[in-house]
Amino acid sequence: MSDTVPSPQVTSRPTPAADLPGWRLSYSGKVRELYLPQPGAAAGSPADVVLVVASDRISAFDHILATPIPDKGKVLTAMTLWWFERLADVVDSHLVSTDVPPAVAGRAMICRRLDMFPIECVARGYLTGSGLAEYRALGSVCGVELPEGLVDGSRLPAPVFTPATKAAVGDHDENVSLAEVANRIGARDAERLRELTLALYARAEEIARERGIILADTKFEFGRMPQPAGAPGPADGIVLGDEVLTPDSSRFWPADSWQPGRPQPSFDKQFVRDWLADPASGWDRAAEVPPPPLPPEVVERTRERYLEAFVRLTGTPFRG
């Protein structure tokens, strides 16, 4: 959500633009759509706010799939709002209001526009995924040396900051070192993002553990808010943006079934990944063709995992 918003890259929309009076579509990503207010037609200054709408799209293996997951966008938005409340004393968020057009109620937020840092701020408390692959090859992750003998699902001695560069839709994010982040955005900002990422992870990991869920890893995105001299707000202008601590941006594992040395059951889109990776899906990941539509049972099981994550974390039923 920078001051220069990219042109749309994905044509699918959660709702026709005509259903959002006062707003114009500015950008479409893997899951979210960004709308800017028409001058004088929506609350807030066009230079200050953006409408962030979470669709029901789902991505896997760097592809946006043709089959949506019902209610996914609403779950992501509700979880993000729940976490924003619990992290507010660690860092401010970009949230302004949930008073959004009826057509996107429950799946949208009005947020401050930020100059986003081009960094995925990843915190890992457990070893898996791309971190595990890098560890097996190098004995380290993003330049952070780790002990010998770790396996898939191992708890790390202490959480680590393992940033990545943001990739365009369809490309891979690339793990980088803290030194590389400093080269890109400056040493002071790099260290501040590391501090905030680890502080947010520590708070969220404790909250999740109290509810029987392991937060294995997660990613945050931060931006800088223009700060007039003498105005209240964070001294460095850095605030938390995007979504936070959802099954799209985090690995949530049931604590009672955690067992290092194997892949862990998770509250996310693993059913989708597993089905696509199975030869029975008929899809060759190496081929330059999009994945096939998801079968109804995969869609339903994935939806159930998203809903279960929401209910277990928040302790409240999902009302849709």
Per-residue pLDDT of the chain (320 residues; tens, 9 = 90+): 333 333 233 334 444 443 788 899 998 888 999 999 887 655 444 468 999 999 999 999 889 999 999 999 999 999 999 999 999 999 999 999 999 999 999 999 999 999 999 999 999 999 999 899 999 999 999 999 999 999 999 999 999 999 998 765 445 678 899 999 999 999 999 999 999 999 999 999 999 999 999 999 999 999 998 765 445 454 578 999 999 999 999 999 999 999 999 999 999 888 899 999 999 999 998 888 999 999 999 999 999 999 999 999 999 999 87
What is the Cα–Cα distance from 53 to 76, expressed in whole angstroms?
10
85 by DSSP, 3-state: which?
Answer: helix
Q: At what angle do helices 187-210 and 178-185 cross, to 10 degrees?
A: 130
245: left (phi over 0), alpha (psi -120 to 50) or beta: left
Distance of alpha carbon 318 from the chain centroid: 20
164 by DSSP, 3-state: which?
Answer: strand
Residue 241 pairs with which residues in a beta bridge? 221
Rg of the chain in Å (alpha carbons): 19
Task: Please provide residue 203's backbone torsions phi and psi, each rounded to the nearest 5 degrees.
Answer: -65, -50
- State residue 188's pLDDT score: 95
> Residue 115, exposed/middle/buried by CB under 10 A (0-12, 13-18, 19+)?
middle
- State residue 168's pLDDT score: 56
- State residue 48's pLDDT score: 87
- State residue 124's pLDDT score: 97
What is the Cα–Cα distance from 181 to 184, expressed in whole angstroms?
5
DSSP string over 18-67: GGSTTEEEEEE-SSEEEEEEPTTTSSS-TTTEEEEEE-S--EETTEE-SS
Please give the CATH superfamily to which domain 17-115 belongs.
Phosphorylase Kinase; domain 1 (3.30.200.20)
- State residue 137's pLDDT score: 95
Distance of alpha carbon 214 from the chain centroid: 17
What is the Cα–Cα distance from 98 to 198, expressed in whole angstroms?
28
What is the Cα–Cα distance from 52 to 47, expressed in whole angstroms?
15
Task: Please provide residue 219's backbone torsions phi and psi, each rounded to the nearest 5 degrees.
Answer: -130, 145
What is the Cα–Cα distance from 68 to 298, expressed in whole angstroms?
11
Residue 252 amino acid letter: F
Cα 28-272-71 angle, rounded to 5 deg: 55
Asked if 65 and 58 count as a contact pair (C-beta separation under 8 A), the reply is: yes
- State residue 5's pLDDT score: 34
